[in-house]
């Protein structure tokens, strides 16, 4: 009997247990049989059930308790060794210079202006010569990520080198921050970040002029910037990856530039002029010189037009408006006609367009890109007046511009 006949007979065979779909009950019975089998093996392991558990991969490692000093020390030392090993895996300055030399040597003509380019074939050749530390950068994925619209299928050498530099910087910074992660859980507490910034100050030339007596205030100012934005739920800790993802650390480390312009210093929150300006404002508000600001002292900030409700909220003494806008009270004090609460509420809801028509969430404000406007309207009389009269102000600006053109 040849194979064709065998196949024909099999196809003609009535539905049997081999080609019939198993019923739900049969599947449950098989599951129970498997459970019984493994349970029996577990019982057969004897009283020492650890023998059975050895086949399960370990997935949890208990953190040492506070009184387990030796275990804590062992954990700290092992983390330090691990971070040192990771640091050695990064490209050093000499290796980066060698990488730039190789890229420049293998550039692919023609140049676009002064922009040196490299095609994929030369890109791979450089990867072979650059050494094992660079292997992670010379992949098709990285090349495709940096490729834009070059008609010769090339990428910019400068863009690629900047990409490598940025990656190396991020890893270096992560390792540096992790050294201050006392808990070893991937986040920094306030005290951890304070220690990091305090020890960073001597490495920032733009802060050379700060007196050591001012360091504590400077550190406090810098840390509060991080925690205000990166710890909105006030947990007292920030993920290291969140610190790396935001631009604050870039601004702080920008102070390494000895030739940083005056304009850049003025706009950088972490610069010496910015810190001294904040310190001066604080001293001017602190009338009793006790090192703290009362609600009354804070109310004099700026042009003293912040609403009482906002100040109450800052001090967490009042959580509602009690049906009345503080803005209305200030308008009466300054001799202006109060506006309708309902009108302002409707205008704010129209601006934000929240998912829930009855309330506005933080995410609604973020999504609307109108959070700064809404906040200014509610907490500051000047901000409210500017918004209410925005059309007239624009018209006046246009008229003034036209008058200047005529002259």
DSSP result, 148-190: -S-TTSEEEHHHHHHHHHHHHHHHHHHHHHHTT-TT-SSEEEH
- Lookup: tokens for 339: 């506006």
Given this structure, which CATH class describes domain 183-285? mainly alpha
| Residue extents of the structural domains in the chain | 69-173, 183-285, 301-403
CATH T-level fold of 69-173: Recoverin; domain 1 (1.10.238)
pTM: 0.62
Peptide bond into 110 cis (omega under 30): yes
- List Cα–Cα distances, 406 to 126, 392, 402, 403, in angstroms: 62, 21, 6, 5
Unique residue bearing structure tokens 């840390």? 223
Q: Do 150 and 117 contact (CB within 8 A), yes or no? A: yes
Can you give the pLDDT at residue 377?
74
Q: Do domains 69-173 and 183-285 have the same CATH topology?
A: yes
pLDDT of residue 171: 94
- pLDDT, position 16: 46
> How crowded is the C-beta side of 4, counted as CA atoms within 13 Å?
0
Distance of alpha carbon 68 from alpha carbon 54, whole angstroms = 26
Q: What is the pLDDT of residue 304?
A: 78
Specify the DSSP element, H or E, that contains 119. Answer: strand 117-119
Record the tokens describing residue 27, joined without a space. 């599947």
Six-digit token string for 220: 């406090």
Report the C-alpha gap between 230 and 126 in whole angstroms. 40
> Helix 390-406 and helix 381-388: axis angle, to 10°?
70
At CA 249, angle to CA 248 and CA 252, rounded to 5?
90
**Would you state the structure tokens that stand for residue 78, as one six-digit string?**
């092992």
SS3 for 205-266, per residue? HHHCCCCHHHHHHHHHHHHHHHHHHHCCCCCCEEEHHHHHHCCHHHHHHHHHCCCCCHHHHH
Q: What is the CA radius of gyration of the chain?
A: 33
Which tokens in the block code for residue 226? 């991080």
**Residue 278 CB contacts under 8 Å (≥ 6 apart), including other chains:** 221
Residue with tokens 């983390």: 79
What per-residue confidence (pLDDT) applies to 4?
46
Give just the sign of the alpha carbon dihedral 84, 87, 89, 93: negative
Listed in sequence order, the residues at least 6 apart from 379 whose beta carbon sits closer than 8 Å to its beta carbon are 306, 307, 309, 310
> pLDDT at position 85, please?
93
Per-residue pLDDT of the chain (407 residues; tens, 9 = 90+): 444 454 455 445 444 444 456 788 888 888 888 877 766 666 665 555 566 566 666 777 788 888 888 988 888 888 889 999 999 999 999 999 999 999 999 999 988 788 899 999 999 999 999 999 999 999 999 999 999 888 999 999 999 999 999 999 999 999 999 999 988 889 999 999 999 999 999 999 999 988 888 898 899 889 989 998 899 888 889 999 999 998 899 999 999 998 889 888 888 989 999 988 888 888 888 887 766 778 788 888 877 778 787 787 777 643 333 334 474 555 555 555 666 667 777 778 888 888 888 888 888 888 888 877 877 777 666 666 676 666 655 555 555 555 545 55
């Amino acid at each position: 009997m040849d194979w064709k006949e065998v196949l024909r007979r099999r196809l003609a065979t009535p539905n049997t247990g081999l080609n019939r779909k198993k019923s739900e009950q049969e599947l449950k019975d098989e599951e129970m049989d498997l459970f019984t089998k493994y349970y029996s093996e577990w019982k057969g392991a004897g009283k020492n059930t650890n023998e059975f558990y050895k086949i399960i991969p370990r997935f949890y490692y208990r953190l040492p308790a506070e009184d387990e000093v030796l275990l804590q020390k062992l954990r700290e030392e092992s983390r330090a060794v691990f971070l040192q090993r990771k640091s050695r895996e990064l490209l050093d300055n000499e290796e980066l210079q060698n990488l730039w030399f190789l890229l420049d040597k293998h550039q692919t003509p023609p140049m676009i202006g002064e922009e040196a380019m490299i095609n994929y074939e030369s890109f791979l050749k450089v990867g072979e010569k650059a050494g094992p530390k660079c292997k992670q950068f010379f992949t098709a994925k990285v090349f495709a990520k940096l490729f834009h619209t070059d008609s010769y299928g090339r990428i910019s050498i400068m863009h690629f080198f900047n990409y490598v530099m940025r990656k190396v910087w991020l890893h270096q910074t992560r390792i540096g921050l992790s050294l201050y992660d006392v808990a070893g859980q991937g986040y920094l507490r306030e005290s951890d970040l304070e220690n990091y910034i305090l020890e960073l100050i001597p490495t920032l030339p733009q802060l050379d002029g700060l007196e050591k007596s001012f360091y504590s205030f400077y550190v406090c100012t810098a840390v509060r910037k991080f925690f205000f934005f990166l710890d909105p739920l006030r947990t007292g800790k920030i993920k290291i990856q969140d610190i790396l993802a935001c631009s604050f650390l870039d601004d702080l480390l920008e102070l390494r530039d000895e030739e940083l312009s005056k304009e850049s210093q003025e706009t950088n929150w972490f610069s010496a002029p910015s810190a001294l300006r904040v310190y001066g404002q604080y001293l001017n508000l602190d009338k009793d010189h006790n090192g703290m600001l009362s609600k009354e002292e804070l109310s004099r900030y700026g042009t003293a037009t912040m609403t009482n409700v906002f100040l109450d909220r800052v001090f967490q003494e009042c959580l509602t408006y009690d049906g009345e806008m503080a803005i209305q009270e200030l308008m009466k004090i300054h001799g202006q006609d109060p506006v309708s609460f309902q009108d302002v509420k409707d205008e704010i809801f129209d601006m934000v367009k929240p998912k829930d028509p009855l309330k506005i969430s933080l995410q609604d404000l973020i999504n609307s890109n109108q959070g700064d406007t809404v906040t200014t309207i509610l907490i500051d009389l000047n901000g409210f007046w500017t918004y209410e009269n925005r059309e007239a102000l624009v018209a006046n600006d246009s008229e003034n511009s036209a008058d200047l053109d005529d002259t």
